[in-house]
Structures are given as C-alpha cells and as structure tokens.
Amino acid sequence: MSLSVSVEPVVLITGGAKRIGRVISSLLHERGFSVAIHFNHSRVEAEEFVEELNHKRSNSASLVQADLTDSFIAVDVVTAIKDRWGRLDGIVHNASMFEPTELLDTNLEDLSGQWDRLLNCHGKTPFFLAQLAALNFPDYFQFMVNLCDIYATLPLCRYSTYSISKSSLIMVTKTLAKELGPRVRVNAVAPGLILLPDGESMDMQTADLMAQRTCLSHMGEPMDIAKTVLFLAQDANYITGQIITVDGGRTLFC
Ligand SMILES: NC(=O)c1ccc[n+]([C@@H]2O[C@H](COP(=O)([O-])OP(=O)(O)OC[C@H]3O[C@@H](n4cnc5c(N)ncnc54)[C@H](OP(=O)(O)O)[C@@H]3O)[C@@H](O)[C@H]2O)c1
C-alpha cells in the first residue's frame, strides 16, 4: 500500500519484461517515468529488470503479474498500481499473443477459445484497463499507447484470429480517443517486422525478399518502436486517435 502519491509520473507497460516491451520500459524510465512492469510468465526476467531499474533510480519500478486473457484481471492490475503508486499517468499496452490459426484443422471449440483469448488480450482487456484508469485516476491519466501491427489492417495468412484481434485494438484506440478526450490522448503504433518470435530465424532468401520489399531495406529495431511510443506519450500534444505505422515502408509493397 502506498503511503503517498508518487511524485514522478507513472506508466504501466503490459508485457514489459522482455523484447520490445522491455526497450519501451527502459526508455520511458530513462526519461523520468516510474514504471509498473506487467508480465505474465516471465517472472525471472521481470524481477531482474525491476531490480536493475530500481538500482538506477531508487523506488522507480514495480511489478504486476496478470494473464490478460481474463479481462476481469484489469481490476486487480489497476488496484495494484493504486496501492503501490497512488497514481497512473499512462498505459502502454504492448502484451501480445502471436498465435497461428489452423483454420481448417481446428475444431470449433478450440478455435472459439482462441478467438476469446486473443480478442481479450488485444481488445477487451486494454479497453477496461483504460476505463479503470480514467475512473480511478481522473487527475493523472493522460495517455495510452497501444502496440498494434501492420497486420491489423492487412490479413496475415495463417494468423487470421491474430489479425482480427489486433484490428479490434485499432477501434479500441479510436473509440477511447473520442470517449476519453480531451483529458486523455489515445494512440497506437503499428510496427512492421522488428523482432522474429523467440527461437525463430529467417533464411537468407526470405531476408533478401523482405529487404527488397521494404523502402528502407532492413528490419526495424525495438528502439524504433520505443522512440515512437515515447513521442506519443510525452510530446504528441495534439495527436489522438491515430495509428502510427513504423515499418520502414514495408506496407507500400503489400
Ligand atoms: N516483434 C515484431 O516484429 C512485431 C511486429 C508487429 C507488431 N508487434 C507488436 O509489438 C508488440 C511487442 O512485440 P513483441 O514481439 O516484443 O511481443 P511478444 O514478445 O510477442 O509479447 C510481449 C509480451 O506479451 C506478454 N503476453 C503474452 N500473452 C499474455 C497474456 N495472456 N497475458 C499477459 N501478457 C501476455 C508476454 O509476457 P510474458 O513473457 O511475461 O509472459 C510477452 O513477453 C506486440 O504488441 C506485438 O504485437 C511486434
């Protein structure tokens, strides 16, 4: 339980312990935010990361664990932040489930379960996190940045449920921008290829083809995404309801 309200602005980063979420969290922390690092399974990485951040600046990072496929968990997440920090200024919804959909090889029950989990994690839970933040922290909550995907507007073969669920995040972003304005700005970032899933690699031929079909001829880096998130969080005073594509020009070839 926090005895006093944090002096520094506080941002929640979902899926903030690893990969792109970790780079976003580090950059926001470096720029003066206190960070509530959410994780689901990556407890070890999350605990080490929070310790590292608190070593850099004491009392500047906390942990919150939650499986975001259960949208009611949003209440526990916001309560944990209220108890720890007494305020929440922003949410970066980065947590994501990049799952293939075996459309014709899956029974209705399993496919329906996958729909529910992906739609909850990518659409419903961030919607309720924002609603609860607006209700609980009316004097603080100012921005939300949602990590979307270029494949939210272009269907990705074998990932139909993923694409559909990420497209719901676009409408969540636009709807919340309208509903929560003028106090809260809500935007999204749609990355192109930044990091392959853990354990996957790309063969030379695919990498060459990808480079040929990307104006800037290379994959992006997590910091490209983190800098865009920082801009939307801190500097984009007159931008809301927008989806910023960060893909090196990849979608011009799709
Ligand atoms: N990587 C890319 O090239 C790329 C391209 C386009 C869009 N994006 C988007 O950019 C964001 C970051 O990408 P990424 O590749 O770094 O993401 P990622 O590794 O696929 O996922 C980020 C985190 O989401 C968390 N997560 C997964 N299932 C969850 C659940 N049920 N409940 C709560 N958290 C859950 C995981 O946390 P734990 O590890 O703690 O379980 C994971 O570390 C994502 O939103 C992604 O869709 C990425």
For 172-189, the pLDDT digits (tens) are 999 999 999 999 999 999
- In the block, which residue shows the tokens 């259960």? 70
Whether 20 lines ligand 1, by a CB cut-off of 6 Å, is: yes
Shortest-distance atom of ligand 1 to CA 98:
20
Whether 246 lines ligand 1, by a CB cut-off of 6 Å, is: no
Q: What is the pLDDT of residue 228?
A: 99
Q: List pLDDT tens digits, range 17-38.
A: 999 999 999 999 999 999 999 9
Residue 41, pLDDT above cutoff 70:
yes
Shortest-distance atom of ligand 1 to CA 122:
45
- Dihedral of CA 118/40/130/151: which sign? negative
Catalytic positions are: 19, 149, 162
How far apart are alpha carbons 221 and 59 in whole angstroms?
A: 29
Residue 90, pLDDT above cutoff 60:
yes
Residue 163, pLDDT above cutoff 70:
yes
How far apart are alpha carbons 48 and 57 in whole angstroms?
A: 14
Please tell us whether the domain made up of 10-253 is placed in CATH 3.40.50.11890: no
Q: What separation in Å is there between the alpha carbon of 38 and the centre of ligand 1? A: 11
List of residues 6+ apart from 25 with CB closer than 8 A: 13, 16, 17, 35, 37, 49, 53
Closest CA to ligand 1's atom 13: 20
Task: Enumerate the β-bridge partners of residue 46.
Answer: none
Q: What is the pLDDT of residue 254?
A: 87
- Dihedral of CA 204/209/212/214: which sign? negative
Rounded mean pLDDT, 95-112:
94
How far apart are alpha carbons 196 and 249 in whole angstroms?
A: 18
Closest CA to ligand 1's atom 1: 195
Shortest-distance atom of ligand 1 to CA 14:
34
pTM for the structure as a whole: 0.98
DSSP code for 245: E
